[in-house]
Amino acid sequence: MSVKRLLVGVFSLVVGTAWGQQDPQFTQYMFNTIYYNPAAAGMDGITRFTALHRSQWLGYQSSFDEGGAPTTQLITASAPIHKINSGVGGYILRDAAGPFNTLEAQVTYAYHRVIRGTKISAGLKVGMYAQTLDYGEYRVIQPGDPLVPEGKLGKESQVKPDMAAGIMVQRDKFYVGMSLNHLTRAQFDFNITEQRGRLEPHLYVTGGYFYDINLDVRLQFVTLVKSDLVKTSFDVGALAYLRDAMWGGISVRQGEGPTVLLGYSFLKDKTLRAGYAMDVVVAGREAKAATSHEFMVSYALPASPVAGKKIIRTPRYRH
């Protein structure tokens, strides 16, 4: 089965019922928590900007001239507001998968409270979720298909409001968060009255635990649980940090295969970092290329002391 046919089948499910995980996935989710949970805004106590590019199933060639492997780009920002115990942030995401293009623009706000050394955050995310469908990339097998009207060419776009809420708890050695996205349950019909597709709520649970082997080496155990409240999948992995300047690790994604992660921090204060991840596809090879690749660049503004404020930092956020 080709990815083009697979995507046509996916679209049929999208406009009819829920089809499982609708959001793009990231392997370096441990450095990208604000995408999954608005409560992560400002939690590290510093201002940080991050950019990611993901090439899914790199090297895949479509059976037709158009289309190809999915790609995703993401830019995020997060900053604390110490005077009101809060954090703000946001992101812009573009996801291209065959005839579908998704564009998100979201802003986030989180309120922080420190209780006996534990930092607790509650956050809200609001913005827009846009989908564009390119009918020119479809090849109709059966004439009269109501999902692809005969003679329909060009692109159709729809923009809907979107909202999410989340909570996060953080201490020196661990963090855990839970969020529920797409609370507005936006509907997309692309002017096809016979069918409507709904953006279903997605539940995310993120977590991490740190273990110091010695003064130079620290381990981080991470997990990401994803659910559309019908089906659930998870990622689990471990990373090792050397002097908080470089890291490497392995992870496993349920239903796909293992991944390898590498990264390095630059500049004297380690405010600039770059990361790379490669996924090895084991399951579903008949419709996918063998590997996926993900690149990350992140920069944090130098932290300045804030009188009277206690900032909890962990290597989860600073390297």
**Using one digit for the tens of pLDDT, what is the confidence trace for 178-233?**
999 999 998 887 766 555 577 889 999 999 999 999 999 999 999 999 998 888 99
Confidence of residue 159 (pLDDT cuts 50, 70, 90): very high
Q: Of the candidates 89, 32, 45, 82, which has an alpha carbon nearest to the alpha carbon of residue 302?
A: 45
Residue 141 confidence (pLDDT) above 70? no
d(CA 118, CA 134): 48
Q: Of the candidates 92, 104, 89, which has an alpha carbon nearest to the alpha carbon of residue 34?
A: 89
Residue 67: both structure tokens together: 């289309």
Confidence of residue 136 (pLDDT cuts 50, 70, 90): low
More confident residue, 1 or 85: 85
Over the chain, what is the mean pLDDT?
83
Q: Report the 3 state secondary structure along 87-118.
A: EEEEEEEEEEECCEEEEEEEEEEEEEEEECCE
Whether the Cβ atoms of residue 58 and residue 81 lie closer than 8 Å to each other = no
User: What is the arithmetic mean of pLDDT over 281-306?
Assistant: 77
Sorted by where each starts, the structural domains of the chain and their CATH numbers stand as: 3-298 (2.40.160.40)
pLDDT digits (tens, 9 = 90+) for 220-267: 999 999 998 888 999 999 999 999 899 999 999 987 889 999 999 999
User: Tell me, what's the pLDDT at 307?
Assistant: 40
Q: To which residue do tokens 């968060």 refer?
A: 177
d(CA 302, CA 274): 17
Confidence of residue 305 (pLDDT cuts 50, 70, 90): low
User: Tell me, what's the pLDDT at 72?
Assistant: 95
Confidence of residue 122 (pLDDT cuts 50, 70, 90): very high
d(CA 21, CA 304): 40
Residue 173's identity, in one-letter code, is K
User: What is the arithmetic mean of pLDDT over 54-72?
Assistant: 71
Residue 187: both structure tokens together: 């509907």
End-to-end C-alpha distance for the chain, whole angstroms? 43
Q: Give the start-end residues of each E strand in 58-201.
A: 71-81, 86-97, 100-115, 118-134, 155-170, 174-181, 187-188, 197-198
Q: How many CB atoms lie within 10 A of CB 92?
A: 15
Burial 176-204, CB ≥16 within 10 A → b, else e? ebbbbbbbeebebebebeebebbbbbbeb
User: What is the arithmetic mean of pLDDT over 112-129?
Assistant: 96
**Beta pairing partners, 79:** 88
- pLDDT above 90: percentage of residues in the chain: 57
Residue 161 confidence (pLDDT) above 70? yes
Whether the Cβ atoms of residue 185 and residue 153 lie closer than 8 Å to each other = no
Q: Of the candidates 45, 47, 97, which has an alpha carbon nearest to the alpha carbon of residue 70?
A: 97
Residue 44's identity, in one-letter code, is D
Helices (H), the chain: 3-14, 33-36
For the chain, how many helices (H) and strands (E)? 2, 16
Q: Is 316 exposed, middle or buried (0-12, 13-18, 19+ CB in 10 A)?
A: buried
List phi, psi (to 5°) of 229: 70, 5
Whether the Cβ atoms of residue 208 and residue 225 lie closer than 8 Å to each other = no
Q: Give the start-end residues of each E strand in 254-304.
A: 257-266, 272-280, 291-300
User: Tell me, what's the pLDDT at 7?
Assistant: 33
More confident residue, 4 or 280: 280
Whether the Cβ atoms of residue 279 and residue 259 lie closer than 8 Å to each other = yes
